[in-house]
Amino acid sequence: MYNFLIATGAATLIGILAGVGLGGWTYGIIPALLVLLGGYFILLRRSIKKVEVISARVGQIMTAAERQSRGQARNPRAAKQSISRAIDQSIAELRKGYDIGQWQWGVRSQLDAQIGNLLFMSERYTEAKPYLKTGFVRQWTTRAMLGVLLYKEGNFSAMRDAFDECIRFNKKKQGLLYACYAWCLLNAKDGRKSEDRRADALEVLNRGHDAMDKKDDNLARNLDAVRNGKRMNMTGYGQQWYMFRLEAMKTPRQQVRGR
């Protein structure tokens, strides 16, 4: 916000000075526009760079924690504590960026999205929910996680709203978004018949299949599975799917047994 106000103030001043100096207010329009656009761009870039520094620091914290947790593989409790401490440190770093949000629109919602994602993936759902709600809607994982959280709570109407909003702003970005939505619809314990839930899931999968120009093989396979009354298989999406905490990752032994 402050970035825009400063750029507008500078543009107004330059416009007045140029108009007076050149003999007419119309002569100040072009210089004012140039200062407005150029000044705002410079201030915007400054804010973005500050956010990038914070995000880089968060990345370093989480990378170090993941490395440490791998070294603690024989002590799962200690490994979990290492990740939890790192998440708390990362959130503290991200909150430092709230001051930047006073200068530039959209910064706070992007920071909230990152905080919400971290809390959700650490299964601190109650803490995550408000951040997921205020997080940047074009960061598709944020709204999708909100949809999953509402699914877990049994609030299926709000779940649909969250996923539909996410798709509206991220229509062609991720096939997993449609697959995740369909999975939640198919498995929702909402009192409806399985045929009705399956029909809803098929509608979403068809939408996603078309939006991805029929190039997402995982969507295609799941579309066939649901049509034939089978369960969805999301393993093709790998780690990205498991970050939604809807299914536990299978161990190699479990995968062999599943075959």
Structure token pair of residue 15 = 């416009």
Contact (CB, 8 A) for 62 and 86: yes
What contacts 187, CB < 8 A, 6 or more positions away? 197
What contacts 125, CB < 8 A, 6 or more positions away? 119, 149, 152
Q: How far apart are CA 49 and CA 29, in angstroms?
A: 30
Structure token pair of residue 154 = 């049994």
Parse the chain into domains and list their residue ranges: 138-247
Give average pLDDT by consecutive 10-residue segment, the chain, 259 residues. 84 83 75 87 91 92 87 80 90 92 87 95 94 93 96 96 94 90 95 94 95 93 94 93 88 48
Please tell me the predicted confidence (pLDDT) of residue 15. 79
Contact (CB, 8 A) for 199 and 229: no
Please tell me the predicted confidence (pLDDT) of residue 252. 46
Q: How far apart are CA 70 and CA 100, in angstroms?
A: 35
Please tell me the predicted confidence (pLDDT) of residue 25. 65
Tens digits of residue pLDDT in 151-198: 999 999 999 999 999 999 998 778 999 999 999 999 999 999 999 999
Please tell me the predicted confidence (pLDDT) of residue 40. 87
Q: How far apart are CA 37 and CA 7, in angstroms?
A: 8
> Which own/partner pairs from 176-179 qualify as long-range (CB within 8 Å, at least 24 positions apart)?
176/218, 176/237, 176/240, 176/241, 177/140, 177/144, 177/208, 178/204, 178/205, 178/207, 178/208, 178/209, 178/211, 178/212, 178/219, 179/205, 179/208, 179/218, 179/219, 179/222, 179/232, 179/234, 179/237, 179/241
Picking from 154, 147, 155, 156, the residue whose alpha carbon sits closest to that of residue 177 is: 147
